[in-house]
Amino acid sequence: MFHTTVQNCAVHVTHGNSECHIFTDCEFLGGNLAAFRFEGGSAQSIDRCFFFNSGWIVDFAPGNYYHDTTMSNCDAERSGPWFRSTSATNSYPSLYVTNTNTGAAAANQPCINWGGLYSVLSLDNCHLDPSQPNCPAVVAANNRLMIRGSKIGVQAMNYAGDLSLVDNLIFYGLTTTPTGSGMIYTAGNKNLVNGPFRTPQLEGFR
């Protein structure tokens, strides 16, 4: 059990070797910049953690990344914005999130800002509810955001990279806006407010 009220970054990993960091049953009540800020290439596993911080849950800062990060069975209902990778990240940093509740976020800024180089953000069986206005998910070029089997409260997704939405419940309505040459794929989604979810394109890659 790990409990922290550290400000700025609760956990800050800066080295680039191949060690593996495992965080299990932890509680993060601080971190006005980020709960997890990574600037190195090690593997991370985050499991059964609770977040009550005002910064990013996971923030990939500029650096060289050699392994993937996994996050599962977590509750971030009172967190700030969720997941970010900056445009200066290298070596394909990827984050795989399962069975996790992300709520609150920060008003008038992205809840997801995925801008690394050739990286993947995968959200599977999650509850994604910003509970704040104007919190889009933003996907930069040469990146992919994949959401499957989740409850989506995010009301806008802007994608220059690839966006995949499969078998989700969308409970506030959702607008998907292309901002680059990325493709969108949708299948089996249900909009709980306005009937079957349809993007401006027919379902399938465009």
Buried (b) or exposed (e) across 148-184, using 16+ Cβ within 10 A?
Answer: bebebbbbbbbbbbbbbbbebebbeebebebeeebeb
Domain contains 19:
yes
The answer to whether residue 205 sits within a structural domain is no
Q: Is residue 123 part of a domain?
A: yes
pLDDT tens figures, 94-152? 899 999 999 888 888 999 999 887 889 999 999 999 988 889 999 999 899 999 999 99
Alpha carbon distance 83, 56 (integer Å): 6
Q: Is residue 184 one of the residues assigned to a domain?
A: yes
Q: Which residue has the higher pLDDT, 39 or 15?
A: 39
Residue 202 lies inside a defined structural domain of this protein: no
Give per-residue pLDDT as tens, 24-73: 998 888 778 888 888 877 788 999 999 988 899 999 888 777 778 999 99
- Predicted confidence at residue 5, as pLDDT, reads 47
pLDDT value, residue 132:
85
| Residues of the domain holding 73 | 2-196
Q: Which residues pair with 165 in a beta bridge?
A: 147, 186
Residue 85 lies in a domain: yes
Q: How far apart (Å, rounded) are the C-alpha atoms in residues 183 and 18? A: 33
Going by DSSP bridges, is the β-strand pair 20-24/75-76 parallel, antiparallel, or unpaired?
unpaired
Q: How many domains does the chain have?
A: 1
Q: pLDDT for 149-171, tens place per residue?
A: 999 999 999 999 999 999 999 98
pLDDT at 206: 40
pLDDT tier for residue 18 given thresholds of 50, 70 and 90: low
Range of lowest pLDDT (9-23, 43-57, 167-181): 9-23
The model carries a pTM of: 0.89
**In this structure, is residue 206 part of a structural domain?**
no
Determine, yes or no, domain membership for 72. yes
